[in-house]
Structure 1
Amino acid sequence: MLKFKHIFVIVLTTLILVIGFSAFGGQSTSAQTIKFTSAMHTSKNLTYNGTIKYYVKADAKKYAPEITYATQKWNKALGKKVFQRTNSISRSRLVFTGTNKLNRNYAGVAEINSGVIALNNSWMSRYNQQKRRAVVIHELGHTFGTKDLYNYPNGTLRSLFKRQTIMGGNYATSIKSFDAKLAKWTLQKTRSMSQTEFHHYRSNQGLYYQQMLNGQL
C-alpha cells in the first residue's frame, strides 16, 4: 500500500537465501554492492506459465493509461511480455480495481494470494500523472513477490532504497538496473501458485480479494 509516500503490500514471508549483487549502476555516485536477501521477497508470485494476465475492472478504467504504461515498462525491463491484458476476469491472475474503501492513508494495495491491486480513488485523483504511474509500477513490483524496501531491516540500506528504488517508494517512473535485477531474482526465489491454490483464494468469499472487489473494504 502507499502510505502517503510509501507503499505497503500484504503478503507472506518464507525462504532464506542470500545472493551478492552489484547494484545501483548509474543511480548513485558511490559504487555499492547490495546483497539480495530473503528480507526482500515473500513466498509467492502471481505468474502462471511465465505470465501474469491482468484484468481492469470498470471502476479502475480511469487508470488504464497508467496501467498500460506501467505494464509496458515492466515488460521491457524484464525482457519479456510478463504482463498481458485479458478481457476475462476468470482468466486473470491479477485484477485492478478502484476503491473508496481503503484507509485514507493508502493510495494503493497489492494482495498477492488472490491477485488484486486496489487503487485508492481519493489519493490517485490528487496525484499528477507521474505519481499515478509510479504507484502502479510499484504495486506491480509486488506481483513478482518483492517486498517493500522501505521496510528493509537494515537502516542504512532502507534509507538508500527509499531514495533510489521503485520498491523503496521513490515515485520513479523508469525501471533501472537494480529494480529490474531484483524483480528477476525475486521471481526465481518465489513460487507460482498452482491453479487450484489460486482459485481457492479467488472463490473464498471471506478472503481479501472478494471483500475488496465487492466494496466491503
Structure 2
Amino acid sequence: MFKFKHVFVLVLTTLIFVIGLAAAFGQSSSAQTIKFTSEMHTSKNLTYNGTIKYYVKSDAKKYTPEITYATKKWNNALGKKVFQRTNSISRSRLVFTGTNKLGASYAGVAEINSGVIALNTSWMSRYNQQKRRAVVIHELGHTFGTKDLYEYPNASLRSLFKAQTIMGGNYATSIKPFDKKLAKWSLKKTRSMSQTEFRHYRSNTGLYYQQMLNGRL
C-alpha cells in the first residue's frame, strides 16, 4: 500500500549500527547483512505454479506503459518471468483497476487475498511518469507477500526503509539489491494459495475483486 504520510541516539554502538545499515543499502554485497524479519512479510503470495498472471481492466489501461515497465523490472530482478499478462480475467491471479474511491491518502493499494491492485486515478493523473511507475513497482512488491516497510516497528530501520527502499515508499523506479533479496525471501517465507482458496476469496463480496466487478471500487 503506497501511503502519503529526529530521534536522538543515546548509545554509541546503536549509532554505529544504524550507519552501517545505511551503508548496506548502497552496496550489494552488504545488503545480505540486513536481517529480514517476520514483520516484513504476510502469510501468502499471489504466485501459482511460479507465475502471477495479471489482467489490466479497461479503467486501468491508461497505465499500461507503467504496468509493463514495472512488471519487466521485477521479472529482470527476480531472474525469471514471474509476471505474465493474460487477456482472461478469470485466469488471472492479479487484476489492475483504476478507481477514484480509495482513501485520499493512498496512491494505490494491493489486496493479496483477492488479487487486486487498485490505482487511485486522482493521484496517478497528477503524478509524472516516474512516480506512476514507482507506485506500480511498490504495489507489485506486495504480491510477493512483502509488507509496507514504512510501517516497520523499529523506528531507526523504518526511517532508513522509507528513504531508501521500494517497499518503504521512496518512489524508486530501479530495483536495488535489498529490495530484490527481500522479494525473493518473501516468496520463500510465504505460501501460494491453492486455486480453491483463491476462488473462495474472489467470491467474497467484502473483498476488492467483487467490489471492483460491482462498481464499488
1:103 aligns with 2:91: no
Map of 1:59 onto structure 2: 59
Map of 2:169 onto structure 1: 169
2-side partners of 1:173 and 1:24: how far apart?
19
Greater share of helix residues, 1 or 2?
Answer: 2
2-side partners of 1:32 and 1:198: how far apart?
33
- Look up the equivalent residue of 1:35 and give its one-letter code: K
Aligned alpha-carbon RMSD (Å): 2.0
- Look up the equivalent residue of 2:116 and give its one-letter code: V
Residues 45 and 193 in structure 1, CA contact (< 8 A), matched pair in contact too: yes
Larger Rg: 2
Residues 110 and 143 in structure 2, CA contact (< 8 A), matched pair in contact too: yes
- Look up the equivalent residue of 1:104 and give its one-letter code: A
Alpha-carbon shift at residue 24 of structure 1 (Å) = 3.6
Greater share of strand residues, 1 or 2?
Answer: 1
Map of 1:113 onto structure 2: 113
Q: Which runs of 5+ in 2 are unaligned?
A: 6-20
- Look up the equivalent residue of 1:205 and give its one-letter code: T
TM-score, structure 2 normalization? 0.87
TM-score, structure 1 normalization? 0.87
Residues 67 and 133 in structure 1, CA contact (< 8 A), matched pair in contact too: yes
Map of 1:204 onto structure 2: 204
Map of 2:193 onto structure 1: 193
Q: How many equivalent residue pairs? A: 200
Alpha-carbon shift at residue 212 of structure 1 (Å) = 3.2
- Give the % identical residues: 88
Map of 1:214 onto structure 2: 214
Deviations, residues 5-28 of structure 1 (Å, cap 9, x unaligned): 6xxxxxxxxxxxxxxx9x845359
Q: Which moves more between the two structures, 202-211 or 180-189? A: 202-211
Residues 3 and 105 in structure 2, CA contact (< 8 A), matched pair in contact too: yes
Q: Which runs of 5+ in 1 are unaligned?
A: 6-20
2-side partners of 1:148 and 1:83: how far apart?
20
Give every structure 1 segment of 4 or more consecutive aligned residues whose post-TM-superposition deviation is greater than 4 Å. Answer: none
Map of 1:14 onto structure 2: none
